[in-house]
Amino acid sequence: MEAPLRSIHVVAGVITDVRGRVLLTRRGENSDLPGLWEFPGGKREPGETSEQALARELQEELGIDAEVGDLLIEVPQQYPSKRLRLEVRKITAWKGNPRGREGQALTWVAPERLARYSMPPADVPVVGVLRQPERYLVTPEPGADLAGWHRALARALDSGIERIQLRARSLAPEGYAALAREVAAACRSAGAELLLNRDIALAAELGVGVQLGSEQLASLGARPLPAVQAVGASCHTLEDLRQAQALGCDFAVLGPLQETATHPGATPLGWDGFVTLREQVALPIYAIGGLTDAHLATARGHGAQGIAAIRALWPAVAKAPAALQGTPQHPRE
């Protein structure tokens, strides 16, 4: 029987300067994963709180006095010789001039350039938390009341939803394409990102992203869209996640966490099952399946980018003003 992997709890900090740049440090040649860039921090010692451990590490490594703030994400990551728990906290204030007191290189990086730096697997989801939305809305089927569906979409965008997947399997291809064009225009106007469910060709035509189905992953040999168009992947197994990572997907959606009406009969992962899969890949991963905004902190505590949902993020349909009632609905193909 193989010996269990040793467990290590590391606390790291996201430190920003007045220009909004993020501080990264480079791992030394004598450390594990030499030459990779990471968020500064170190091991939490017995008897220390996370705040005490991170403040101590930043003073020892960088020579700064730091005020440790809220949890951003806690990433479980399995390596060949250890099981890491990377707890990442926001640094709300700091004093001093950061310098590599242990000979390590430092660099300040604009947030939009963080993904260009090679990092250990556990640090990659942290970049996701800093750069990608924590909520991912999957639209419900339009149904007969298409005007009401559009009103609900507008309310979702007004509420601050920044990433949307258009999922409308009940529509014929022509109807879906027409709806996709309208939703793409609404998302562009609101500054939100749109991904189309499975339709790579239409996404390429409209200049939006695509959410790949799990059945599509194995058939693809390369990322299907350029880097400026988001590619997500719907995953249920470790094989799905590994293929999504190999394709260079920007994120994955993993579930279901709980039983849902949209996936009747599917075996729920639960948070333990989510962690078991989460720790074996380096991807931002949304949890999906019976989750609401109330689960966001729990999701982040288990290494999730955030939550993806249909009903929990879709506003209730407001009735049209009386003056508009009786007018024709939006044309359907």
Q: What pLDDT, in 10s, does the model give residues 194-209? A: 999 999 999 999 999 9
Residue 324 pLDDT exceeds 50: no
How crowded is residue 196: how many other Cβ atoms within 10 Å of its Cβ?
26
Write the CB contacts of 146 (distance below 8 Å, at least 6 apart in sequence). Answer: 329, 330, 332
Mean pLDDT of 175-182: 98
- Going along the chain from its start, the domains and CATH numbers come out as 6-117 (3.90.79.10), 135-313 (3.20.20.70)
Residue 32's pLDDT band (boundaries 50, 70, 90)?
A: confident
Least confident of 78-87, 221-230, 316-325: 316-325
Does 142 score more than 50 pLDDT?
yes
Token reading at 320: 């049209």
Judged against a pLDDT cut of 70, whether residue 321 lies above it is answered with no
Q: Residue 114 pLDDT more than 50?
A: yes
Task: Determine the pLDDT at residue 5.
Answer: 85
pLDDT, averaged across the chain: 93
Distance of alpha carbon 43 from alpha carbon 309, whole angstroms: 35
For residue 237 the two structure tokens come to 């197994």
Would the pLDDT of 320 be above 80?
Answer: no
Q: Output the pLDDT for position 260.
A: 72
Task: Extract the tokens encoding 177.
Answer: 């394409």
**pLDDT over 60 at 19, yes or no:** yes
Residue 332 scores a pLDDT above 80:
no
Res 329 pLDDT > 60: no
Using pLDDT thresholds of 50, 70 and 90, give the confidence band for residue 1. Answer: low
Percentage of the chain beyond pLDDT 70 is 92
Closest C-alpha among 313, 18, 63 to residue 165:
313
19 DSSP 8-state letter:
T
pLDDT at res. 263: 64
Give the pLDDT confidence score for residue 262 in this predicted structure.
66
Q: Determine the Cα–Cα distance for residues 176 and 182; give it in Å rounded to an integer.
A: 10
| Among 139, 143, 146, 116, CA closest to 22 | 116
The tokens of 306 are what?
């955030």
Assess whether the previous peptide bond of 256 is cis (omega < 30° from 0).
yes
| Confidence check: pLDDT of 7 > 90 | yes
Q: Which amino acid is at 145?
A: D
**CA geometry: angle at 245 spanning 237 and 278, to 5°?**
50
pLDDT confidence bin for 286, thresholds 50/70/90: very high
At residue 326, the pLDDT reads 40
Per-residue burial over 50-85, b if 16 or more Cβ lie within 10 Å, else e, is: beebbbbbbeebbebebebeeebbbbbbbeeeeebb
pLDDT at 2: 66
What pLDDT shows up at residue 198?
98
Q: What is the pLDDT of residue 317?
A: 60
Q: Is the pLDDT score of 10 beyond 80? A: yes
Mean pLDDT for 218-245 is 97
Whole-prediction pTM:
0.92
Residue with tokens 């730096």: 117
For 317, half-sphere exposure in the C-beta direction (CA atoms, 13 angstrom radius) is 14
CA atoms within 13 A on the CB side of 315: 17
For residues 320 and 328, the answer to whether their CB atoms sit within 8 Å is: no
